[in-house]
């Protein structure tokens, strides 16, 4: 039995939509147990007013980043310019009901910022050797512009394939050390890192080290490394 659970998603938001989503609230829910029960039961999202939430989506993920840097799981939340998508891979140690529900609700809130006719997916799965498989999926959701709906808990292979790049980024981050890797915008979105409090995520030196160790390093990242070394990179 796994004691690690992951929320993975591909969110093809327009770049302005990413900022609006990060600065906006989580999708509301009556309580964590009701929300997770509805998600697993493929019911409609229970949109009810909620107290005690993080101030915004980015505040929630900043807290997740701090927990991950301290050894409590792991987090990838990064914009991919080539794919025009935001990748999410949020690893939770233990079934932390409140944290998992909040991440799922953050994903649901992204539907308000999707455009066009594209459909994206998110999955909640029990981590088994860090591999995403249909057998491990506990819940799945379909995201359309303005709506998040629950779907079959055994998603099609193309749904799993759609979130696989998020898992790949997480594995690359683990090889570099998750606390170091999250100083890179290829692992943690700058707007989230700005709010993080863990020392490993706050130093410019860490940002430069993360970029230099990146699997994506090249001409495109060279100027960012230079700015990070000079302390001029806003991360």
Residues 204 and 210: beta-carbon distance below 8 Å: no
Q: Where are the beta strands (DSSP E) in the chain?
A: 4-11, 74-80, 85-93, 120-126, 137-144, 147-150
Number of DSSP helices (H) and strands (E) in the chain, helices first:
9, 6
Q: Give the pLDDT band of residue 20 (cuts 50, 70, 90).
A: very high
Mean pLDDT (whole number) for 102-123: 89
pLDDT of residue 229: 32
The mean predicted confidence, pLDDT, of the chain is: 76
pTM (2 d.p.):
0.79
pLDDT of residue 76: 95
CA 144/CA 85 separation, integer angstroms? 14
CA 27/CA 53 separation, integer angstroms? 10
CA 212/CA 234 separation, integer angstroms? 16
Determine which helix (DSSP H) or strand (DSSP E) holds 99, and give its type and residue range: helix 97-109
Local structure of residue 173 (DSSP, 8 states): H
| 118 C-beta neighbours (distance < 10 Å), count | 15
Mean pLDDT (whole number) for 121-150: 80
pLDDT tens figures, 155-190? 667 888 888 999 999 989 888 888 788 888 999 999
Local structure of residue 27 (DSSP, 8 states): P
Local structure of residue 59 (DSSP, 8 states): H
């Amino acid at each position: 039995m796994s004691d690690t659970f992951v929320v993975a998603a591909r969110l093809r938001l327009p770049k302005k939509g990413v900022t609006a989503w990060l600065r906006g609230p989580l999708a509301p829910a009556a309580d964590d147990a009701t929300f997770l029960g509805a998600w697993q039961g493929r019911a409609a999202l229970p949109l009810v007013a909620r107290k005690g939430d993080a101030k915004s989506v980015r505040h929630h993920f900043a807290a997740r980043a701090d927990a991950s840097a301290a050894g409590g799981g792991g987090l990838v939340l990064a914009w991919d310019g080539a794919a025009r998508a935001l990748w999410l891979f949020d690893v939770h140690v233990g079934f932390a009901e409140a944290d998992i529900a909040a991440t799922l609700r953050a994903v649901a809130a992204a539907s308000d910022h999707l455009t066009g006719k594209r459909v994206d997916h998110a999955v909640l799965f029990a981590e088994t050797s860090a591999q995403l498989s249909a057998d491990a999926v506990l819940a799945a959701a379909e995201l359309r512009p303005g709506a998040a709906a629950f779907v079959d808990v055994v998603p099609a292979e193309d749904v799993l394939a759609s979130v696989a790049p998020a898992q790949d980024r997480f594995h690359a981050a683990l090889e570099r050390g998750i606390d170091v890797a999250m100083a890179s915008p290829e692992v943690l979105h700058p707007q989230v890192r700005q709010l993080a409090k863990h020392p490993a995520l706050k130093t410019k030196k860490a940002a430069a080290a993360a970029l230099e160790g990146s699997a994506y390093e090249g001409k495109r990242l060279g100027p960012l490394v230079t700015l990070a070394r000079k302390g001029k990179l806003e991360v």
